[in-house]
Each structure stands twice: as structure tokens, then as C-alpha cells.
Amino acid sequence: MTVALERPTIAASPTGRRRRFSLGAVTPYLQSAPLALILGAFLLLPIIMIVVVSFWDYDFAAMYPDFLTTNYSDVLGSWVTWKTYLNTIKFAAIVWALTLFIGFWVAYFLAFHIRTTAMQMVLFLVCTVPFLTSNIIRMISWIPVLGRNGLINSTLVHMGLVPKPIEWLLYSEFAVVLAMVHLYTLFMVTPIFNTLMRIDRSLVEAARDAGASGWQVLWNVIIPLAKPGMAIGTIFVVTLVMADFSTVQVMSGGQSASVALMMKNQMSLLQYPAAAANAVVLLVLVLLMVAGILRIVDIRREL
């Protein structure tokens, strides 16, 4: 069966080979064309459109092509916007620090303390699986834990540690940060684990032989070599937090704001040009942050 199927290809091979020579130079362009077309249509074009629309005029019913800068002066001139941006950056900084700390130690434990590859893979999968389930469900799952009558509060009250349920566990900035760390730590674990696994173990041994203590090995050998992984994890976490609206909305119960949530509210009021101006400002901010991180690390070399 297979032989019968293969025969025509073999017979065609001389022409095929000659064709490969002439096609050779074009092949990578043909192979990359689908990716380029899809990203062009659904990433580049929409972003260009947003930049264009951000200069348009609008009222409650429609948008009108124009060249106005009022959308930008509205965005940048409002105290609320600045506060929202600061709040978003604050979330990004806190979540970044926490995920980096947790992510590094989890990855370090997996890479340097688990001895068999099979066990490493199993434990790594245990960390990965929740990432492949719904973010919203994972947010909702904190309600029975943190709520007024939730697990933590009822335990604390039962043990007599607090006289009445703590109010700030759910629907607060604390809950937002907790949920974000819950959702995004894996984005830090994976790239750091990847770089740690590639560290040549003889370097660690050499440092030990030269008399370095455990902490010195960690601080002077492992952490410097793990920096590229930390940088990639940072890109993920920072961009995800900067773009977040659902976690802030669900977990703060509407008491906190983020830039993306502000955009979403403008969009639901059909104020697209205002949302577009906001989008441009947010995009520039995020791309500047990423460009800054990319100066430290060359992603193509780290893959």
C-alpha cells in the first residue's frame, strides 16, 4: 500500500528536484505568507485603524472622519486617567515582584532539587494544567474561599482570631493582586525553568570546588544565568497585567480601576475614538516597557 503510494513521487523526483532548485529561494516566503497575512489583517490593520480613529470626531450615534487632537487632550488632560494609569502600573509592579519571587523559587526547586527527569516533567505539568483552564472560572473560584462567609473568614472567626469576618479579603485590591498572582505566576515559572535547565551543572560544581557557599553559588552563578528567563517572564506578566480588565472588574467588585477597564467602559458607551486614543497611549506605554526589557535579552537566542 505504502509502496504503491510512494512510487509516483519517486518517479516524479527528478523534475521535483529541479523544481526545488528554482523554488528554493521562494519557499520561505510562501511558507511564512499565511502567518504574515493573518497578523497583517488581524493585528497590523486593526492597530493602524485604531490610530486613525483616535483622531476622529464622534457623538452618541456615530464616528466622523476628522483630524482632531481633542481625544488625546481629553485622555491626557484628565486627572482620572492619570490616576487610573498609576493604579494599573502599581498593580503591574506588585504582581511582577510577587510572581518573580514565587516563580523563581518554584522553577529553582524543579530544576535543581528534583533528581529525575520524569518527576520534573510530572511536577511541571502539575503547575501547567491550571493555566490551560478558564481564567474566569479560576477567578470565580476565589469567591467561596475569600468571601464574607468564605473558608478563610469562617475559619478565622471559628478559631476566635478575629471577632467578625474580614471585609477586605474579597472585592478589594488585595483580591485583585491575589487573583493576578494566581493567574499569571506560571508565565514566570516556565521561562525561568527553561533557562535554569540549560545551565551547565559543571559551573555549579566548579563554584563549589572553588569554595563558594550555597548562597554564593545561587547569587553569583545561578541568578545571573537565569536573567534571560526572568526577562521573558517579566514581559508576559507586565503586559498581561497592563492589559487586564476582567480580574480588576470581577475581583475588586467595581471598586478599583485599570486602563483596560476604562477603555472597556468607553467602548460600551460607543465612544470608540476616546477608547482608541486611550488604546494608543496604553500601547505606546506597553511597547516602551517591552522594548526596555528586550534591550536586556535577545528572545531569539533564548528559545
Partner 1 sequence: MSHEKRTLEFYVLAAFFALFVLFLYGPLSAILILSFQGETGGLTFPLNGVSLHWFANLFERQSVGDFGGSFKRSLVLGLMVMIVTVVVSLLAGLAFRRKFRGATALFYLAVASLVVPSIIISLGIGVVFQQVGLRPAWYTSAFGAHLTWTLPFGVLIMFAVFNRFSPAYEEAARDLGATSWQTFVHVVLPMIAPSLIGVGLFGFTLSYDEFARTLMTSGTFNTLPLEIYGMTTNVTTPVLYALGTVTTVFSFLVILATLGAILYVGRRRARA
What whole-number distance in Å separates Cα of residue 294 and Cα of residue 226? 15
Site string for partner 1, 193-232 (x = CB under 8 A): --------x--xx--------x------------------
Instruction: Enter the C-alpha cell of residue 26.
Output: 521562494
Name which of 69 and 133 has its Cβ closer to partner 1.
133
Q: How far is the CB of 70 from partner 1 (least distance, A)?
A: 18
**Is 231 buried (19+), middle (13-18) or exposed (0-12) by CB count in 10 A?**
buried
The DSSP call for residue 167 is G
**Is 127 buried (19+), middle (13-18) or exposed (0-12) by CB count in 10 A?**
middle
The DSSP call for residue 130 is G
| Region 268-287 residues binding partner 1, contact defined as CB under 8 A | 272, 275-276, 279, 282-283, 286-287
* Piece of 66-74, 75-83, 91-99, 243-251 that binds partner 1 (CB under 8 A): 243-251
Q: Does 9 contact partner 1 by CB under 8 A? A: yes
Name which of 83 and 198 has its Cβ closer to partner 1.
198
Name which of 161 and 301 has its Cβ closer to partner 1.
301
Bridge partners, 58 (sequence order) = 63
> Residue 284 to residues 25, 141, 291: CA-CA distances in angstroms?
36, 34, 10
| Region 101-140 residues binding partner 1, contact defined as CB under 8 A | 102, 105-106, 108-110, 113, 115, 123, 125-127, 129-130, 132-140
Q: How far is the CB of 275 from partner 1 (least distance, A)?
A: 6
Question: Which residue, chain included where needed, has cell 507586565?
Answer: 238
Size of the site for partner 1 (CB under 8 A): 91
What whole-number distance in Å separates Cα of residue 253 and Cα of residue 140? 12
**Where does the chain show beta strands of DSSP type E?**
57-58, 63-64
Name which of 76 and 286 has its Cβ closer to partner 1.
286
Q: Does 169 contact partner 1 by CB under 8 A? A: no
Q: How far is the CB of 129 from partner 1 (least distance, A)?
A: 6
> Judged by CB under 8 A, which of 8, 29, 79, 210 binds partner 1?
29
What whole-number distance in Å separates Cα of residue 3 and Cα of residue 6? 5
* Piece of 67-75, 92-100, 222-230, 262-270 that binds partner 1 (CB under 8 A): 262-270
What whole-number distance in Å separates Cα of residue 241 and Cα of residue 248? 10
Q: Does 164 contact partner 1 by CB under 8 A? A: no
Do residues 33 and 27 make contact, with C-beta atoms less than 8 angstroms apart? no
